[in-house]
Amino acid sequence: MTAADFQTGDAATGQWFSAWLWHPQFTSYIRGLSTAHLHVVPGLLVVRATRAEARVHGWTEIRYQWPTVVLDTLLPLRDTGILLDGADLAGFVPRLALRGAGRLRDALIRAGFTIVEVRRWGWEAGRQVPRSALGAHAERVPPTLIRPD
């Protein structure tokens, strides 16, 4: 994969999604517009900050290479997001929210990821997942996503 692949978003190199990142280290958020772009390719998720997000929070890219992805659906609005690596002491984890959950599931399956879905009541913030919700896939996600017993 080359830098040009990321710039053009060529369909042969994966699928692109506009998204919004909630991260426990940020104290302010850009509301009402996408703050990131998710690129799904075989065995890899690449999250790239928009220019505005990079200026506000100082990050440019997050890579996720674990074989299992946790899709976190927040009730009651059924907002779907991907939980990413890295937790704070309170158990909050980065969460990438996006529209088009069905299209996202299809892209993840085509890219070879195993999907574990969790549903919970909440708003924006990602939370660690109980080991029991992950079942046999607990060893295939970042340890920071697993809530200590």
User: Which range has highest mean pLDDT (7-11, 20-24, 84-88, 105-109)?
Assistant: 105-109
Is 137 part of any domain?
yes
Is 9 part of any domain?
no
User: Cα separation of 60 and 122, whole Å?
Assistant: 27
Is 121 part of any domain?
yes
More confident residue, 91 or 122: 122
Average pLDDT over residues 5-22: 70
User: pLDDT tens digit string along 90-119?
Assistant: 778 999 999 889 999 999 999 999 999 999
Average pLDDT over residues 124-132: 91
Q: How confident is the model at residue 81 (pLDDT cuts 50, 70, 90)?
A: very high
User: Cα separation of 23 and 57, whole Å?
Assistant: 10
At 28 the pLDDT is 80
pTM listed for this prediction: 0.85
Supply the DSSP symbol for 88: -
Nearest to 98 by CA among 149, 22, 41, 28: 22
Q: How confident is the model at residue 79 (pLDDT cuts 50, 70, 90)?
A: confident
Is 4 part of any domain?
no
Element (H, E) at 70: strand 68-75
Identity of the residue numbered 104:
L
Q: How confident is the model at residue 26 (pLDDT cuts 50, 70, 90)?
A: confident
Q: What CATH number corresponds to the domain at position 95?
A: 2.30.29
Calculate the CA 104 to chain-centre distance.
11
Q: Is pLDDT above 60 for 4? A: no
Identity of the residue numbered 3:
A
Task: Give the pair of three-digit tokens for residue 11.
Answer: 């369909």
Is 69 part of any domain?
yes
Domain count, the chain: 1
User: Cα separation of 84 and 38, whole Å?
Assistant: 12
Q: How confident is the model at residue 8 (pLDDT cuts 50, 70, 90)?
A: very low
User: In sequence order, which residues have a C-beta less than 8 Å from that of residue 15 and are 6 or more positions away?
Assistant: 39, 40, 103, 107, 110
List the domain range (segments joined by +) for residue 109. 14-147
